[in-house]
Amino acid sequence: MSRHASIWIATSAESAYPRLREDLRVDVAVIGAGIAGVTAAVLLRGAGRRVALLEAGRVGHGVTGHTTAKVTALHTLVYDELLGRHGREIAQGYAESQQAAIATVRRLAAEHGIDCDLTETSAYTFAESDRDREAVEAEARAAESLGLPARVHDDVPLPGAVAGAVVMTGQAQFHPRRYLLPLVATLPGDGSGVFEHTRVVGVDDGRPCRVATEAGPVVTADDVLVATSLPILDRGLFFARTTPHRGYALAMEAGTEVPEGMFVSASSPTHSVRTAPHQGRRLLILAGEGHPVGEEPDPRERWRRLEEWGRGTLGAGPVRFRWSTQDHESLDRRPLIGRMTPASRHVLAATGFGGWGMSSGTLAGMLLADMVAERESPWAQVYDPVRLDVRSLPAFVKKGAHDARTLIGGRLRRGLDPDELAFVAPGEGRIVDADGEHLAVHRDEAGDLHIVSATCTHLGCIVAWNDAEASWDCPCHGSRFGPDGTVLNGPATAPLEAREPGAQPATSDA
């Protein structure tokens, strides 16, 4: 996902599971080895199901490996909005299910004896102005009315000017890969397996289902769980019901004041803070400065702003790690978890966690496992992907108009002429017009050109260069590709077509 290693990836062991090299028959195929897929796989394995966990890259290298790793039910400002838009039953279910997810993380860590720096702490959504103060007060009232341990707090343990916060006690933080890897290690054996570098390119929904992989082997399963960041299958139009965002993170040396708790600002641009142990000291984990995918001409500026905020507000020191991440937010603020379509009984999916994947991803794993086992859940209706909400229709229309403008605008955008390729500098990526086709051209640091089609293989939008991560990003639905066309993020499953003689996109190891 990122060429910059997150603190979680840099400070945990690497996995080494095999590729899938032959056809396989299991009870459940789980696509995606992030927290949602792993949680579902572990719960199903514990219930006696044969499970195949299929991962295009490595375990925990996607969104889960690039998170801030807050395990909390306080999702910035969500409860006041849920009550106003969807009513008490939906808001109550959201609150209860998120708290249950936190309890599940604690239970699984204890049952498996996992040392992942799991620490109980409080979560704060803080106000930086009087206007924000009104919003956090409303959120505190809403959350408290739903039975959550929330209240308004004036004495916020955060350096700098803060106009109060809503605080929720009994939350948690952890090291996500040190949590995930021991869970994955419990899966192989007795007909179950974990397979890395195994990209899924299609699923036939039948009795049984057939899961096709890029390399050829097929997994046959009674049920399939699509637990990729955004479903790689277009059925259900999940890509049209979520918005992809990129966010930025830094791990910085703490100053003299080390804040105790997890913090996120109520206003935009978002600023998030927590601490993490590292080599006998504590680092500040800062995140925020997000933007829609493919719509920032200078992503490095986002890191610069975040670093300035950390130094100026928190007195932070040198940067030790930097990385970026990608999330999808649903149009109505509720994740989409369940059947992909009304007719889909055996292919389930989860997405739209909106930056709160450690709790919502765990919850997704719980719900998906319940659905496979045909157990009723009191929270299923809260997250049902086939829900019909007319109040979200304006947002759906707006999202569709954005995608249409992006698609048309990208195709009309003027790029370099082919004879101007010499102006592509080392490390740079540019769009080139060649005989009516848009080409994505990157010159690496050695001076060699890499030329691929600029047309996203998902639905045909024109990609944009991401200078921070040296990737081609699709501004429509969030697919991302390496300079050679390799798929880094779905929903695309096919690489950008090579346009250099003899060049073929490589298989992703990310």
Q: For position 268, what pLDDT does the model report? A: 84
Residue 446's identity, in one-letter code, is A
Q: HSE of 468 in the Cβ direction (CA atoms, 13 Å)?
A: 26
- pTM of the model as a whole: 0.91
The low-confidence residues of the chain, meaning pLDDT below 70, are: 1-3, 161, 388-420, 422, 500-510
Q: For position 393, what pLDDT does the model report? A: 54
Q: For position 406, what pLDDT does the model report? A: 59
- Helix, coil or strand: residue 27: strand
Q: For position 413, what pLDDT does the model report? A: 55
User: What whole-number distance in Å separates Cα of residue 408 and Cα of residue 82?
Assistant: 34
Q: For position 285, what pLDDT does the model report? A: 97
| CB-CB contact of 185 with 478 (8 Å) | no
Domains of the chain, with CATH numbers? Answer: 7-66+178-240+333-387 (3.50.50.60), 117-172+245-329 (3.30.9.10), 391-510 (2.102.10.10)
| Contacts (Cβ under 8 Å, ≥6 apart) of 273 | 158, 259, 262, 263, 264, 284, 285, 286, 314
| CB-CB contact of 196 with 32 (8 Å) | no
Closest-CA residue to 123 (of 139, 112, 111, 109): 139
Q: For position 120, what pLDDT does the model report? A: 98
| Contacts (Cβ under 8 Å, ≥6 apart) of 106 | 118, 172
